[in-house]
Amino acid sequence: MRGGIRIGKRIKEDLIYIRKTLDFTEDMINDNKTKSRIKTSKKILDKYLNPEVYYAERIKNKN
């Protein structure tokens, strides 16, 4: 796992729940600044939950 960290199962479940909540919240908010913060938070969570997908997407965006 490149760049990932080892996290406990319980913590990972909590992070997944938070990620789903952010998806739900983003749809309800109209403020652009807050939406930007939510997107950043989702990227950070994705980095720890799915490091392979995160790094593959980063490499794709560089090209």
Per-residue pLDDT tens digits for 11-49: 888 888 999 999 888 888 888 999 899 999 988 888 888
pLDDT greater than 50 at residue 4: yes
Mean pLDDT calculated for residue range 38-61: 84
What pLDDT does 3 receive? 54
Residue 58 lies in a domain: yes
Q: From CA 48, how far away is CA 62, in angstroms rounded?
A: 20
Of 21, 61, 19, 10, nearest to 42 (Cα)? 19
pLDDT greater than 50 at residue 1: no
Task: Record the pTM.
Answer: 0.66
Counted domains in the chain:
1
Residue 1 lies in a domain: no
Residue 4 lies in a domain: no
Q: From CA 36, how far away is CA 33, in angstroms rounded?
A: 5
Cβ proximity of 56 and 13 under 8 Å: no
